[in-house]
Amino acid sequence: MAQGDRFVKARRLTKGLSLDNLKPSLPLRLWATLQMTALMPIYELGDRLVYKQVRDGIGGNIQFVVSGGGRSPST
């Protein structure tokens, strides 16, 4: 999971979508691109082995999931 997280963070930084760094410098974007390129095979393997089974198990056509809960009544 840690490698997948690193890949996603690098991809977000490369595309300018990181909320931690809204305007990354050019060297930082280049470094993120290198990380993303190096981690892509591991991410794709995990996607095929694990996430594909999860998507297939829940129908494979989910675009978003809403989850929430209300406050429990105090007793």
Residues 8-18: tens digit of each pLDDT: 899 999 988 88
Over residues 35-65, the pLDDT tens digits come to: 999 999 988 898 888 888 887 888 777 777 7
Query: Tokens 């470094």 belong to which residue?
Result: 31
Task: Return the pLDDT at 75.
Answer: 66
Q: C-alpha distances in angstroms, 47 versus 3, 38, 51? A: 12, 16, 5
Burial 2-36 (b: 16+ CB within 10 A, else e): eeeebbebbbbbbeeebeeeeebeeeebeebeebb
- pLDDT-derived band at 2 (thresholds 50, 70, 90) equals confident
User: Which amino acid, residue 3?
Assistant: Q
Task: Return the pLDDT at 17.
Answer: 87
Asked if 11 and 47 count as a contact pair (C-beta separation under 8 A), the reply is: no
